[in-house]
Amino acid sequence: MKPKVAFFDFSSCEGCQLDALDLNPEELIALLGAIDIVNFREVMSEKSDDYDIAIVEGAITRESEIGRLQNIRQQAKILIALGSCACIGGLNCLKNHLPMEEALRIVYGKDAGYYDTIPARPLNAVVPVDYYVRGCPANPEELLKVIKAILLKKKPEIPGFPVCVECKMAGNICVFERGMTCLGPVIRAGCGAICITSGRFCWGCRGLVDEPNTESEKEILTKYGLSVDQIVEKFKIYNSYTEVAR
């Protein structure tokens, strides 16, 4: 029997879900031959509470979302966190640097009392997560790879090495050589160093590698005359949850 797959989302831009459909027609049709999508609010009206695999986008930012995620976890045999918000909390955690009342007041003014919000957190701060498809946005090919591995009962290969490795392979000039800061040395690869190839630097959207060599990052910073503060501000954009936790 085909596994039943359900898509869910919490606080996010929903870009990862929509990009999940950004496959070639043959790939998408083949995928839909191998799984049954039973829940995908963004593109389908039908709904079902009976599913095997839950693919969840977004961070948890409201009290009520905790229970909803726990229910999803209870129902699903396998839970996949999709994208930076779900995997590491992502940008949402930038608001954690402010008291919640103040963040609400900044946006809603005197009407802040209408709304509830809690410090943002990744899915695994609430429930166990089985697979991570990282990135902002997550790459649909990578999601496809994880789903294929699950169907074949194999372990998907997810890189544990830093972005620098892929960046070198892409033939890029090192960002530090160009006088900018970059998080590549401590951030998990898998993106093909796409941001550096496109002329920018690594923003850290895939989260830290398992054993980040922060000393060596510091050495690099010193070598290029850059300060730790400069890089911390960049690091905060996606990895505030990690930082706050420290």
Q: Which residues pair with 79 in a beta bridge?
A: 54
Q: How far is the CB of 64 from other proteins (least distance, A)?
A: 9
Q: How far is the CB of 83 from other proteins (least distance, A)?
A: 9
Q: Spell out the SS3 assignment of 113-138.
A: HHCCCCCCECHHHCCCCCEEECECCE
Q: Which two tokens stand for residue 52?
A: 């095997």
Give the length of the chain: 246
Judged on CB neighbours under 10 Å (0-12, 13-18, 19+), 26 is exposed
Can you tell me whether residue 224 is helix, strand or coil?
A: coil
Q: Give CA angle at 206 (202, 208), nearest 5°.
A: 90
Binder to other proteins among 72, 87, 103, 189 (CB under 8 A)?
103
Binder to other proteins among 2, 47, 77, 168 (CB under 8 A)?
47
Which range touches other proteins (CB under 8 A), out of 122-130, 160-168, 210-218, 229-237?
Answer: 229-237
Contact 145, 23 (CB under 8 A): no
Binder to other proteins among 75, 78, 117, 165 (CB under 8 A)?
117
Q: Which two tokens stand for residue 134?
A: 């990282």
Binder to other proteins among 153, 199, 211, 223 (CB under 8 A)?
199
> Rule CB under 8 A: is residue 124 a binding residue for other proteins?
no
Q: How far is the CB of 155 from other proteins (least distance, A)?
A: 28
Pairing of strands 53-57, 131-133: unpaired
> Rule CB under 8 A: is residue 91 a binding residue for other proteins?
yes
Residue closer to other proteins by CB (options 34, 44) is 44
> Rule CB under 8 A: is residue 142 a binding residue for other proteins?
no
Report the distance separating Cα 121 and Cα 71, nearest Å.
17
Can you tell me whether residue 204 is helix, strand or coil?
A: coil
Binder to other proteins among 66, 78, 94, 158 (CB under 8 A)?
94
N-terminal to C-terminal alpha carbon distance within the chain: 45
Which range touches other proteins (CB under 8 A), out of 14-22, 73-81, 152-160, 182-190?
Answer: 14-22
> Rule CB under 8 A: is residue 244 a binding residue for other proteins?
no
> Rule CB under 8 A: is residue 194 a binding residue for other proteins?
yes
Give the footprint of other proteins on this chain (CB under 8 A). 10-19, 21-25, 28-29, 32, 37, 40-47, 61-62, 65, 90-92, 94-95, 97-98, 102-104, 106-109, 111, 114-115, 117, 136-137, 194-195, 197-200, 203, 233-234, 237
